[in-house]
Chain A
Amino acid sequence: MNAHTPVLEAQAIAVTFGGLKAVDGISFTLKAGEIVGLIGPNGAGKTTLFNALVGLQRLTSGQVLLGGDKVSGLKPHRVAGKGMTKTFQNAALFPDMSVLENVLTAALLRHDLASARERAGAVLHRLGLGAIAQTDVADLTFPQKALVEMARALATEPKVLLLDEVMAALTPSEMDEVMAVIRSLRDEGLTFLVVEHHMRAIMALCDRLLVVNFGRLIAQGTPAEVANDPVVIEAYLGQGAAHGAATGAATGSTTVAGGAHA
């Protein structure tokens, strides 16, 4: 794979549930080291698209290439092995295990038990979760669960990580911490596709945005471009969220520009 090959390429992905086209022919590419946001109203098909990418959801048509290799049709553990995994929107941790054991299980993908334990500890520490390593996941708060989700996904050592609303319940300062971690991981070469409803976070974090509605890709571009796209504003107007999107974009875009020159 050379520098110009996209690390992830989705080609006309479609997923149909009965008569419902949850994902309706979506194509896009991710370049290595990009942080791309995937936004859209509730029920737009974001989670379904994630499931299709990682192999949890069978595609009705289309294909997925990871680093040039076809991964659509593979089981999720094979896709994880090739370097792509996701977090679950409604944290799907292993409830009878401790935080450390949850993360350790994922680290077993590439390590034996002893070094998986070390790797898991290191990942937890990096996400600021070291102090709760021995806690039962049943005792965690919702934001902690989302972060343990992220730690578990990171423990598979992915090249492409799909984050499904990991920041949903975080306070603004916690959100800043998580965004700093995501950026530093990106600096190490990770590529992110991020679903988030917090416009402030999305605008500040992402290099590029993909906007979906009713299973279709309706717009893409830089956060500033997308925020001013009439099609996007129209889509969000139906949700009564246009105001949030527009104001978020106004504050967020300056940050992105500042970051790009730094």
Chain B
Amino acid sequence: MRAKLTPGLVLLLLFFVAAALLPFYVDPRGHVLRIAAMALLFAALAQSWNIVGGLANQVSLGHAAFFGIGAYTSSLLYLRLGISPWLGLVAGAALAGLAAALLSLPTFRLKGHYFALATLAFAEVMRVIANSWASLTGGPVGVSIPFVGSQPLNFAFRAVSSYYWIILGLLALVCLVFGLLARGAIGYRLRAVRENEAAAEVAGVDTFRVKLTASVISAALTAVCGSVFAQFTFFFDPDSIFSLAGVSVRMAMIAIVGGLGTLAGPIIGALFLIPLEETANAFLSSKAAGLSQLVFGAILIAAILIQPRGIMAYWPKRWSRRAPSPAAPRAEPALAKGGQ
């Protein structure tokens, strides 16, 4: 597959270069870098979600389930068995992929809202299990990862910038996976499923298998984000890691506001929404309880009403179009010119 260097791809590469240089220009231990890291992590989450939500239009409101599976798997393996979170992250991804595969058996027959509700219920079930199975998970108190100084092999670093770069690398990986899927054979099949499932089947697309593949990949990447999140924040509890508003809806929202099904959408969405949310918190949370959430919610609604296709809708279409095919032979009959 040849990836043509479109203006969009150039901008994306420039973004990654600029993002990689950021720690040299801001306080390496400061708040700004933490927020930037969180924005990149949520960009990666939204991009993982975008694989099913955007390419296949399977709107999941339960991806927090996979996020939490990743966080718990790597953390518990590390705390209980001393297994490095680098390995735990792979185990978490495998477990989340398996969960997604099992979940798909009953849910893929569901359409639209019913699918969204079923995934939402799955994440809620995970939250309840994590809260009540205390002997395994630690229960509602959550999980704390002790500070051990710098141990790169155990995914432990002193500087925020180290985590920041790892998260940036994770975002690059997720974007690469998304790009390969979107431009590959499975990308065409997923879009066919999204646009007309019956026609896709008749045209030879195994719609179940295509959706299953996308779900498993999406869930596995989401779990990796969960493991990285746990190492980065040192602490999480069932209600925050399996949160509907804080994780499931937020990843979907970022992808939708940025531009559903596009490569750059989740990045733009995260760079727009996460700092906005932080600013709203910083300025408004002292004024009245819940005011910052209210303002943030209002901005979200406005953004979606103004441009349902997301910020990426303002990107000139001709810039992202592939090069036209070679000039058609002249000898063709008149049908192509059409008209009634």
Interface residue ranges, A against B (CB under 8 Å): 54-56, 75-77, 80-81, 85-86, 88, 92-97, 100-101, 104-106, 108-110, 112-113, 116, 121, 125, 127-134, 140-144, 147, 152-153, 155-156, 169, 171, 173-174, 177-178
Contact = CB atoms under 8 A, between A and B. Distances in A.
Given A77-B206, A144-B336, 13 more contacts: A54-B202, A56-B202, A85-B204, A88-B202, A94-B196, A97-B195, A101-B188, A108-B185, A121-B325, A129-B336, A142-B340, A143-B338, A177-B334
Interface of B: 1, 184-185, 188-189, 191-192, 194-196, 198-208, 324-325, 328-329, 332-340
Given A95-B195, A113-B185, A141 B339 contact: yes
21 contacts: A56-B198, A75-B206, A76-B198, A77-B204, A80-B203, A92-B198, A94-B196, A94-B199, A96-B194, A97-B188, A101-B188, A105-B200, A105-B205, A109-B203, A109-B205, A128-B333, A130-B328, A131-B332, A134-B324, A141-B340, A156-B203
A144 B204 contact: no
B329 A156 contact: no
A177 B338 CA distance: 13
B255 to A, nearest CB: 17
A171 B188 CA distance: 33
Contacts of B205: 77, 105, 108-109
A90 to B, nearest CB: 11
Given A113-B185, A156-B204, A125 B191 contact: no
B340 A169 contact: yes
Contacts of B339: 141
A54 B201 CA distance: 10
A55 B229 CA distance: 46
A33 B191 CA distance: 34
A105 B192 contact: yes
A112 B324 contact: no
B335 A93 contact: no
A111 to B, nearest CB: 9
Given A77-B205, A80-B203, A92-B198, A104 B188 contact: yes
